[in-house]
């Protein structure tokens, strides 16, 4: 069965920057800064618009020691938060 995540193709927006202490942060187009960590940064970097959310989860699972189904939920939550922060937008592809 096809999930809604199969038709959502996240595209990263904004840019990567560093704060005064050399910590990475993401800046949206409005100039609002968000602190980040390596997991969030990896997911944001993978949001090229070429892979669906489901495909991104599968790729991360294949390269991770964590094979849990929980990974899809966590990645989806991070992508949704990035979307709300205007750091990711969705392309929708209908089959």
pLDDT of 34 over the 90 cut? yes
Query: Which pLDDT value is given to residue 1?
Result: 38
Q: What is the mean pLDDT of residues 57-69?
A: 77
Query: Which pLDDT value is given to residue 27?
Result: 97
- CA distances (Å), origin 4, targets 26, 31, 34, 78: 27, 31, 27, 16
Under DSSP, is residue 90 helix (H, G, I), strand (E, B) or coil? strand
- CA distances (Å), origin 31, targets 8, 85, 95: 25, 11, 36
CATH superfamily entry for domain 14-91 = Coenzyme PQQ synthesis protein D (PqqD) (1.10.10.1150)
pLDDT of 63 over the 70 cut? yes
State pLDDT tens for residues 41-62: 999 999 999 999 989 988 888 8
């Amino acid at each position: 069965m096809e999930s809604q995540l199969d038709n959502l193709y996240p595209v990263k927006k904004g840019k990567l920057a560093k704060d005064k202490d050399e910590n990475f942060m993401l800046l949206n187009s409005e100039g609002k800064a968000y602190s980040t960590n390596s997991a969030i940064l990896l997911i944001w970097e993978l949001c090229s618009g070429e892979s669906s959310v489901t495909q991104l989860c599968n790729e991360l699972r294949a390269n991770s020691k964590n094979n849990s189904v929980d990974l899809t939920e966590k990645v989806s939550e991070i992508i949704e938060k990035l979307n709300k922060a205007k750091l990711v937008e969705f392309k929708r592809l209908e089959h």
